[in-house]
Amino acid sequence: MERRLQLQPRLQLLADMVPEGCRLADVGTDHGYLPVYLLQRRRIRGAVAADIGAEPLAHARRTAEAYGVEGIDFRLCDGLRGIAPDEVDTVVIAGMGGETIIAILEGAAWTKDGAHTLLLQPMTKAADLRYWLAVKGYSFTEERLVWDKSYLYPVLRVTGGGTPQALTERQALTGVALDNDPLYREYLTQQADKLRRTAEGLRRSAKPDAQQRAGAAEALAREIEEKRDTL
């Protein structure tokens, strides 16, 4: 009987959001679970599993072998630098900080062409990533939330080729396309709570602008809570 790979919630959400029949690039593939899962279920036509480290890539090869999966091109490269735009139509960059995702996209201008779907899952600095994407003309087509190991993570689906725009601070912190997500109220509460903790720390600071920044953080927290209370 065929062994079936099962995914943790974060990767499962990513797998659910991958377009049927696509050619996938999984950047920072680590153990290769995502492409193995998708190919095992014949959800995608093929995959490039890329990682900057030889050891994670070796793990990914072993995962594919263990589950009898073929059709993965294992690529040792930094981000998308070793992947050509005509090889794939969908790119997943997950499990890393928002600043790292930005650096990877900055090194691959072809992701802005509007012909590629990007699924991005930042572990940190999601607001910075949203700001950058909007300014660079990427369009937010979907955002989803998922609990995994006591953390609430966002997943962004974006495409390039749009008009650059500037997000408000609230949009950057709390998402652009999350209003209908069942976990959105919890996400808004989390962001408001973080802002209030920031404000408390600033009030204890002796820096000249600390009180002004504390007031701004409190005001944004109230704005986010007002948004939450309308849902």
Q: What is the pLDDT of residue 1?
A: 61
- Name, in order, each residue with C-beta under 8 angstroms of 128's C-beta and a sequence gap of 6 or more: 98, 99, 102, 172
Task: Note the pLDDT tens digit of each residue in 21-48.
Answer: 999 999 999 999 999 999 999 999 999 9
- Name, in order, each residue with C-beta under 8 angstroms of 108's C-beta and a sequence gap of 6 or more: 79, 80, 81, 83
Q: One-letter amino acid identity for 135?
A: V
Q: Write the DSSP string, 126-140.
A: HHHHHHHHHHTT-EE
Rounded to whole angstroms, how far apart are CA atoms 211 and 201?
A: 10
The four Cα atoms 173, 175, 176, 179 give a dihedral, to 10 degrees, of -130
Report which of 95, 106, 105, 102 is spatially closest to residue 14, judged by C-alpha positions.
Answer: 95
- CATH for the 9-164 domain, from 3.40.50.150, 3.40.50.460, 1.20.1260.10, 3.30.70.100: 3.40.50.150
Q: What is the pLDDT of residue 31?
A: 94
Q: What residue ranges of the chain have pLDDT lower than 50?
A: none
Q: One-letter amino acid identity for 94?
A: A
Q: What are the residue boundaries of the structural domains of the chain, listed by start?
A: 9-164, 186-229
Q: What is the pLDDT of residue 2?
A: 72
Q: What is the pLDDT of residue 229?
A: 95
**With 0-12 CB in 10 A as exposed, 13-18 as middle and 19+ as buried, what is 142?**
middle
